[in-house]
Structure 1
Amino acid sequence: MEMPVVNRCEATSCAYNRDRMCHATAITVGDASHAHCDTFFTAPAQGGDQTTVGRVGACKMSDCRHNVALECQAPGIDIGYSLDEADCLTYAPA
């Protein structure tokens, strides 16, 4: 299985974000009730690998139409702000 790519990330204050692109090797999305980017955090230093485009490693949103066995099956996702949280904007209830 190929991990879905993070197409864009508007969470520009995240340590893994450079030029609205995610550079974490893999992110985790959600918890039992909210489709936030669980990998998001702020730090004084930049993280990730600039040659890597972030991908979705795990998704805990079992009620998403793109989720199969807690793995994202969307071709790619977008991360952006919703109520001051970095959320998966591709999340869609089944």
Structure 2
Amino acid sequence: MPTVAPITSCSTTTCAFNHEGCTAFAVTIGGTGTCSTLINLDARGGLPVAEAHVGACQRLECVHNKDLMCSAEGIALGPDTAACLTYEAR
């Protein structure tokens, strides 16, 4: 069974799930390489701790993508669009 990659950092300050780290249960990395779970609201939500993981990854050309799961040891998400900074082309 594959392991799920943790979100090691997220610098997207406008996301409602980013409160000193990603508090979503899991995120989806969309086909454009950005976090599809990103939601810009004035409220903060999610779990009480920052322990999010990659639930699914749609970047088929990434070396870490194994059966739509992220096999990286962890990923970092960048500012503004929450781009996956761990992405690496095959």
Instruction: State the TM-score, normalized to the length of structure 1.
Output: 0.88
Structure with greater strand share of residues: 1
Seq. identity, %: 38
1:11 matched residue in structure 2: 12
Q: How far, CA to CA, are the matches of 1:30 and 1:93 in structure 2?
A: 15
TM-score by length of 2: 0.92
Between the two proteins, the alignment pairs up a number of residues equal to: 89
Segments of 4+ moved more than 2 angstroms:
none
**Using the alignment, how far apart are the partners of 1:3 and 1:35 within structure 2?**
17
Question: Mind listing any 5+ residue stretches in structure 2 that lack a counterpart?
Answer: none
Unmatched 5+ residue regions in structure 1?
none
CA distance in 2, matches of 1:85, 1:43: 14
- 1:88 equivalenced with 2:89 (yes/no): no
Per-residue displacement from partner, 1:37-78 (whole Å, max 9, x unpaired)? 110011122111122411000000010000011110001000
Normalized per residue, the structure richer in helix is 2
Identify which of structures 1 and 2 has the higher relative contact order when contacts are C-alpha pairs closer than 8 Å and 6+ apart.
2
What residue is the counterpart of 1:24 in the other structure? Answer: 24
Q: Is the 8 A contact 2:34 2:81 kept in 1?
A: yes
Equivalent residue letter for 1:74: A
